[in-house]
Structure 1
Amino acid sequence: MRRYLDHAFATLGAMVVAIFAAIMVLIFIQVINRFLLGLPLFWTEEVVRMLLVWLVLMGTPVVVYKYQEIKVELFHFKNPGLETFRQITVSILSIIFCATLAYWGYLFMERSLGTLQPSLGISRAWLYAPIPLGSILTIVAFLVRGKEIQEPSDPGKTI
């Protein structure tokens, strides 16, 4: 099962890289068209905004799955039992937050189904779809890594 999840999250990571590349290309095209050619493209701003939401919310589960999030630790216990308890508590609170975000994100996406993006002519739900999807995938990442609570591999990443 873990091997399939590794492949799934690697694929999601590749998708995030592709989204980032698309954002960079679109911004470059927009700058060239607007400032050099004087012909701004009307649709690139909406596409970039939508892709940025997808980038963040699809990237979050990948970061969580790989233990690469930036951690701000106010409490660090020397006792391994208390440290494990702290990590489990943080994971549970994060799962609760993601579940709440998924629920409200789904309702928000559902409400926007009938609304169209002004310049693209597609449903505004595409802008909000990554909220519940990314939240659910982040919950999966937390649950999978919850089975292997461990110390961060790079203490330099801890603030």
Structure 2
Amino acid sequence: MRAQFLRVDKYISLVISYITSALLALAASLGLLQVLSRFLFKFPFEWTEVLIRISLNWMVFLGIAVVFRMGGMITVDMMRRLMPQKYQLLHSRILAVITICFLLFLGYWGWIYANRGATQTIIGLEFISVFWAYLSIPVGCFFGTLAVIANYIDPPKDSTDVEIENTI
């Protein structure tokens, strides 16, 4: 069961990393299109700014799953390094539980806001409901929770090196 969960998590992380990369490329391309249309053609497209915001929202909320899976959670690195080995596992458990609780809380309220905005449309894109923009919050929190669990079950092999590298 554990091996299957980790295999599915690896596949999900790969797919999410491709999706977030595509969303970043989309946002950059739309930003270029917006600048060209506004300053070169003197005919601004109103829908590009909205799509940039939506794509960045989706990119960030989906991207947290990849970051959490790599062990990039907000931690107190020095405190973990200074504590005895037997307390480091407890520290990891507490961080995982707090992170999961936060993601569940955020995902719940994101779902509430998505449902509240289901009848509204996005200005500039009147055919798209606000629901699809807010849906990034609960979807990202769901995949983020799976990534936190996967990171706890199977932490990266060189996580201490990553922590040291990121603090320098």
Instruction: After TM superposition, give the deviation of residue 39 of structure 1 in Å.
Output: 1.1
Indicate whether 1:136 and 2:145 are aligned: no
User: Percent identity over the alignment?
Assistant: 25
- How well do the aligned residues superpose, as a CA RMSD in angstroms? 1.7
Unaligned segments of structure 2, at least 5 residues: none
Instruction: After TM superposition, give the deviation of residue 128 of structure 1 in Å.
Output: 0.3
1:54-73 equivalence runs, <5 A: 54-69=58-73, 71-73=75-77
1:118-133 equivalence runs, <5 A: 118-121=123-126, 122-133=128-139
Instruction: After TM superposition, give the deviation of residue 75 of structure 1 in Å.
Output: 1.9
How many Å separate the matches in 2 of 1:149 and 1:15?
23
More strand by proportion, 1 or 2?
Answer: 2
Q: CA-to-partner distance for each residue in 1:6-31, whole Å, 9 max, x for gaps? A: 11210111000000000000000111
Aligned to 1:79: 84
Unaligned segments of structure 1, at least 5 residues: none
TM-score, structure 2 as length reference: 0.87
Aligned to 1:158: 167
Q: What letter matches 1:152 in structure 2?
A: T
Q: CA-to-partner distance for each residue in 1:24-49, whole Å, 9 max, x for gaps? A: 00000111111112111111011101
Tell me how many residue pairs correspond in the alignment.
Answer: 159
More helix by proportion, 1 or 2?
Answer: 2
User: 2:62, 2:136 within 8 Å by CA — same for their partners in 1?
Assistant: yes
1:33-52 equivalence runs, <5 A: 33-52=37-56
How many Å separate the matches in 2 of 1:8 and 1:83?
28
